[in-house]
Structure 1
Amino acid sequence: MRPRASLRGRHAAHYSFGWSRIAHPDPVSSAEDPSETVLPLTLHLGTEDLTRCRFAVSPLCQTHEALRMLRRPDRHAFHRDWLRRVRDVAAGLDLAELWLFIPRKGGYTPDFLGPPPRTPNASFEEELAQMRATDPAMARTELARSLACTPGAATSPYGRAALEDPAATVRRLADLTERAWHALLAPDWPRHQALLESDIAYRSRQLADGGLEALFSDLHPEIGWADDTLTLRMYADLKEAQGPDGRGVLLMPSVFVRPDVVSGFARPWQPTVIYPARGTGGPPTGAAPAEAPAALARLLGPHRAAVLVGLDGPASTTTLANRHGLALSSVSSHLSVLREAGLLVSHRQGQYVLYERTALGDALAAGAR
């Protein structure tokens, strides 16, 4: 799954735990492990790369990031509510073999556990099928590299089994991932997906309005962009880093990576940057959004007012229906009325029609608060 760091880089060969690690070092600091250093990684994007930058939502990636949080709950103060909520369910899952390849303190996690999604909004089932189809020879190489990061892992029962029969190991890891998905993430996925799609809509507008500099400068404090060069400050084994070389860059928002960023640049995978989605002080908890102020609710009706007030960034009808727990037909009707009143505008973004407030809508929503 790409080493993490602060940028998780697939490219890094080390799953360092984040930009936050720079300010809050782990007990095993970089001084104790000279292979992990904080260095700026610069990646020049050529013309082909610039035309192949894309966004995607990955439920498989979200699953493995959630599991990583369960491995190191002490590093994830942003997500304490979610961790408390799933603690009992997680305790009933036997994930020991999967966790062997998601090291607690740095180390490489096999890339095939989270390959870049092929489409912007792949389903978990589609991504899991891609994982199951991993070539056994490549899987063995990545499994061996991951095991080498943890003393004694390669000679453990799971480690020996992985090296002796990588194809069977891929199947077992996929089964464990599927179990974790259904137990931990699937119940909340509509809300997670809505949040991630809203982030992509916001970033797409940033890109359209201000170009790549506006986009990258706002993704994370340790990401920079200038002169067609992407700069990432991270703990990394830079020997593994490879430039995009025409492959472009895949950008994926995540509910679970905050305060970190994750990256991967090793072939044959498309270079990937996974960043914290907007509004993720923690993942969605299933709670309904706050009600609109009483005065605005009396003016517009409670549900229509809630849709207006809650539309802080571009969002689709499906996103809003999931967010507010309303039927698609009801949300569609509310959006039509609000748009006709000049409070919203709509525009198409790929396969989605996205809605956002106008200046008049902003003024009405702000004035009612």
Structure 2
Amino acid sequence: MLRIHFTDADLARTRIASAPDPLWEICASLHRMQSRQGRWAYADWYRGTRARLHDTGMVRTLRTLLLPLVPRAAYFPDFLTPPEAVDGLEAGVEAVLATGKERVRAEIGILHRTSGAPAWAPRLADPELRQDLVHALRRYHALAIAPHHDRVQARIDAERAARARAVLDGGTEALLAGLGPDLRWQHPVLHTRYPEDRDLYLNGRGLLLVPSYFCWGNPVTFGDTELDPVLIYSLRHEPHPSALPGDLGSGAPLAALLGRTRAAVLRTAATGATTGEIARAVGVSASSASQHAGALREAGLLVSRRHAAFVLHTLTPLGAALLRANAPCAEPR
């Protein structure tokens, strides 16, 4: 069990990341490679990524370099997920390269004691070997993470929209209380399942919540409690596979989109909207709004998720692309 202890200052400083963290997503996806738990939620990703890894000759690097450093266990080195990655992959890998030798040795030592580290791992203190690691991280990201960026970002946008409504309705405590079945808020402590029994005292630093597409099961945080606190938590996945981003299938579902009303529903959902809000904005009944949203959902343009007493509708990557393609052109200067 992990217990995260909040003060009033921490509640005021709690926030949600606006984009996927590329290095945390790399590590979480490496965990997906090592487990069949939740495989149904990542079936398309798993098949496509394995094929790309084999086709590019990346499998050996995956097995001998990346997986040994990120075991699906209670610990993997914190320097692999620096906070600088919030500014993108390149900022993150540059921070990995800049990590001090003593910190690398210390964290590899923890990995060795907790789950076993490969014999070559202590040499990562040498910046030259870390260059090889960073090269592997870049290649793996290009093959396993980047092709799914639009889908991942759309899911995080939907999560942020839902959490923003929770804050507006009930403050930060409502946000913490609605993070999902793996987290339980009991003021002033957030409880979650964890591989080890720990207490994390925020002490006024606040908490950065990072929704993760590839995280499955219990949330993850840094092993070093002196680092700026983050909590990586899983998005809720649908119990059935969906089409890949941009896959229009036969095109038949899109025929249901013809008409001004559904176009207005799609525009209203661009920033996240409940069924009632769509009904009021478009000028139809709630039942009609629900039917139109259902048709858009079947066409792969909307995602609908229940949060408390309402259903929140947000755009999929395909829905967002359709709106962008139909946006009026800017006036020439």
- Judge same fold: TM > 0.5, yes or no: yes
Aligned residue type for 2:52: V
| Residue 51 to residue 171, structure 1, CA distance change in 2 (3 Å) | farther
2 CA distance for matches of 1:48 and 1:100? 39
1:231 aligned partner: 191
2:11 aligned partner: 50
1:125 aligned partner: 90
Deviations 1:108-163 (A, max 9, x none): 200111123575xx322222222222222212211221123334x35x2x23533x
**Is residue 101 of structure 2 the alignment partner of residue 136 of structure 1?**
yes
1:87 aligned partner: 50
Total equivalences in the alignment: 281
Deviation at 1:81, TM superposition (A): 2.5
Aligned residue type for 1:272: V
2 CA distance for matches of 1:248 and 1:332? 42
Give the match's secondary structure for 1:230. Answer: strand
**Where do 5+ consecutive residues of structure 1 fail to align?**
1-38, 334-369
| Residue 289 to residue 130, structure 1, CA distance change in 2 (3 Å) | farther
1:150 aligned partner: 115
1:189 aligned partner: 149
2 CA distance for matches of 1:81 and 1:100? 24
Alignment partner of 1:115 out of 82, 85, 94: 82
Retained in 1: the 8 A contact 2:14–2:206? yes
Retained in 1: the 8 A contact 2:79–2:99? yes
Retained in 2: the 8 A contact 1:250–1:273? yes
2 CA distance for matches of 1:55 and 1:272? 10
Deviation at 1:177, TM superposition (A): 1.0
2 CA distance for matches of 1:44 and 1:260? 17
2:70 aligned partner: 102
TM-score between the two structures when normalised by the length of structure 2: 0.72
Deviation at 1:273, TM superposition (A): 1.5
Deviation at 1:277, TM superposition (A): 2.0
Retained in 2: the 8 A contact 1:108–1:149? yes
2 CA distance for matches of 1:293 and 1:178? 37
**Is residue 56 of structure 2 the alignment partner of residue 76 of structure 1?**
no
**Where do 5+ consecutive residues of structure 2 fail to align?**
270-292, 294-301, 305-311
Name the % identity: 25
| Residue 75 to residue 149, structure 1, CA distance change in 2 (3 Å) | farther
Deviation at 1:67, TM superposition (A): 1.6
Retained in 2: the 8 A contact 1:321–1:328? no
Give the match's secondary structure for 1:242. Answer: strand
Query: Which one is further off, 166-175 or 193-202?
Result: 166-175
What CA RMSD, in Å, does the superposition of the two structures yield over aligned residues?
3.2
Aligned residue type for 1:232: T
1 CA distance for matches of 2:13 and 2:243? 31
Retained in 2: the 8 A contact 1:292–1:305? no
2 CA distance for matches of 1:133 and 1:102? 19
1:64 aligned partner: 27
Higher helix share: 2
Retained in 1: the 8 A contact 2:211–2:232? yes
1:180 aligned partner: 140
2 CA distance for matches of 1:243 and 1:289? 48
Aligned residue type for 1:128: V
1:286 aligned partner: 245
Aligned residue type for 1:43: I
2 CA distance for matches of 1:284 and 1:111? 34
1:161 aligned partner: 123
TM-score between the two structures when normalised by the length of structure 1: 0.65
2 CA distance for matches of 1:66 and 1:284? 19
1:243 aligned partner: 201
Aligned residue type for 2:244: T
Deviation at 1:66, TM superposition (A): 1.2
